[in-house]
Structure 1
Amino acid sequence: MKVIVAGLPKTGTKSMNAALSQLGFVVYDFLEHTVLTQDEYVDILHKGWSTEDFRRMYQDVDAVVDVPACFFWDEIHKAFPDAKIILTLRENEDIWWNSMQKQLEVNDRFISKLAGVFSPTYRRAKTILNFTGVLLFGCPFTQPFLKNAECNAELAKKGYRSHNAYVMSTAPKDQLLICKCSEGWKPLCEFLELPTPDCPFPHKNIHASLPQELEDHPIAMQIMNETLHSLIKVAVVTGVLTYCSIKYGPITTIQAMYGQTKGLLQTLMIPFSSVV
């Protein structure tokens, strides 16, 4: 681990991910955290953690950005004390909150709701995201299927202030860079002691455009494939049940389903019955 980005979501974390990747770092963002280290974070959030947990999780990773890693930046730094810390900020907390609110609204779009129901990978990822959202801002990052995003703006901004103040007062001064992505390559490359790329600094997730930007990401594709396959299965079952209901009547169809389900359960119980 070489770089820990401690900045909260919507402070330029996607731009910083792109910049660090362009500089040659292997970066874990929220998708990698919540999917590739999913089991570890479920245990961490529900049971606690040790420094060795984070060392094992990120031993082959160069940099981490976004949730839940930004919440655990200090614990990750204990595991990798030589890593440099970057605190990304917005111009002020109101601009940050307006951007955060747009992202929460995007997270509540219909396709995201479907993925939250029909993708096993995304369902578990949501558990981690929402747990961290409550810890940081007092509200989850995603909402149930029929519920829209709700978050207390003042509580969220208080969380923003508290998090930033804690990083600035706790991180080793000689290992900390406080920056805004609008400042471009210069402060980042000087801090990391790397040459400045001959291209514009990347700017990502502008106006909460993250879903479009992640369309080709392998983990996002996995989530969408799971969602599509589950929807196809639901459509097939619904079609069969509709056909049977029309041809044989709904009562006969329900009785047949009950009989099949009962028979399957009895079959599954045979090994237990024989042991008893």
Structure 2
Amino acid sequence: MKVIGAGFSKTGTKSLHTALLKLGYCTVYDALENAVYLEDEWKTIFEKGWSFEIFKKMYENIDAVVDVPAFYFWEDIYNAFPDAKIILTVRENEDVWFKSLKGHMECRDKIFVQHLLEWFSPSWKRTQVMRHNYGEKIYGDRYMFDSKWFGRKMNEQLLKLIYRQHNAYVLHKAPKTKLLVFNVKDGWEPLCKFLGEPVPDEPFPHKNPKGGIVQYWMITHPCVLKMKNEMKITLASILLGAATLLGVLVYSKIS
């Protein structure tokens, strides 16, 4: 583990993820990788507790980690990897952050395929346990990351308070020589200087504007593509079963 992202979701974590990959960090775990590849470990952490050893095992072959739920456990991950550097991604202020978070969640709710995945993909449903855990423990809302069909209510004051408290704690506890407070609008220069990397000859990546990353994942991410295939198989099985049952009923009536 070389880089630990300590910033909340919707503070440029997807942009940081892409930037780290471009800088040569080969394995960067984001929210989806954590949910799929480390599902059992996170379930243990949320439901039974954690130790130095569990984080060491989870991330010993990973170059960097960003976003939920890892950002919430940045200090424990750092204790397991004391040579790592810490990046606290931030927005201009908490109002900008909350507006972005709300827009992201509302964008997710409009993706019809995601609603179907929640019902018909076993892999997606398994990740729901972890989403419920970190929704409750980190954001104070167990069902925050479930898709909403009929509008979404979010506790703005509570979420802003959680965001403030987290950032203040990172600023207080992280070693100053190991910490970068980073707004992705500042581009490559502060990030590359902090990491000791040359500045790429290309624009800094800006990913997930207005929550668009979820739609992108739906057509590109291998984990989601696998879940969509599961969904298709499940739906086909249900339709085949329904057709068979209907045929049996019709046949029995005719007989």
Counterpart of 1:263?
none
Offset of 1:228 from its aligned partner? 1.5
Offset of 1:146 from its aligned partner? 5.6
Q: Are the aligned partners of 1:138 and 1:152 in contact in 2 as well (CA < 8 Å)?
A: no
5+ residue gaps in structure 1?
253-276
Q: How does 1:174-185 map to 2 (within 5 A)?
A: 174-185=177-188
2:21 maps to 1:18: no
C-alpha separation in 2, matches of 1:11 and 1:150? 21
Q: How does 1:100-115 map to 2 (within 5 A)?
A: 100-108=101-109, 109-115=111-117
C-alpha separation in 2, matches of 1:7 and 1:63? 13
Query: CA offsets per residue over residues 111-145 of structure 1, 9 Å max, x none?
Result: 21211121121112122122112222212332367
2:176 maps to 1:173: yes
Amino acid at match of 1:218: P
Counterpart of 1:194?
197
TM-score by length of 1: 0.86
Aligned-partner SS, 2:248: helix
Flag the structure with larger Rg: 1
Q: How does 1:106-145 map to 2 (within 5 A)?
A: 106-108=107-109, 109-139=111-141, 140-143=143-146
Query: CA offsets per residue over residues 143-178 of structure 1, 9 Å max, x none?
Result: 367664332111111111111111111111110000
C-alpha separation in 2, matches of 1:4 and 1:51? 15
Query: CA offsets per residue over residues 88-131 of structure 1, 9 Å max, x none?
Result: 01111111111111222233333212111211211121221221
Counterpart of 1:94?
95
Q: Are the aligned partners of 2:56 and 2:81 in contact in 1 as well (CA < 8 Å)?
A: yes
| Aligned mate of 1:235, from 229, 234, 239 | 239
5+ residue gaps in structure 2?
none
Q: How does 1:1-276 map to 2 (within 5 A)?
A: 1-25=1-25, 26-108=27-109, 109-139=111-141, 140-143=143-146, 148-214=151-217, 215-249=219-253
Offset of 1:230 from its aligned partner? 1.1
What percent identity do the matched residue pairs reach?
Answer: 44
Amino acid at match of 1:203: H
- Larger relative contact order (Cα-Cα within 8 Å, sequence gap ≥ 6): 2
Query: CA offsets per residue over residues 179-234 of structure 1, 9 Å max, x none?
Result: 10000000000000000000000011111101232221111111111111111111
Task: Give the count of matched residue pairs.
Answer: 250
Aligned-partner SS, 1:196: coil
Q: Over aligned residue pairs, what C-alpha RMSD do you find?
A: 1.6
Q: Are the aligned partners of 2:108 and 2:147 in contact in 1 as well (CA < 8 Å)?
A: no
C-alpha separation in 2, matches of 1:46 and 1:18? 31
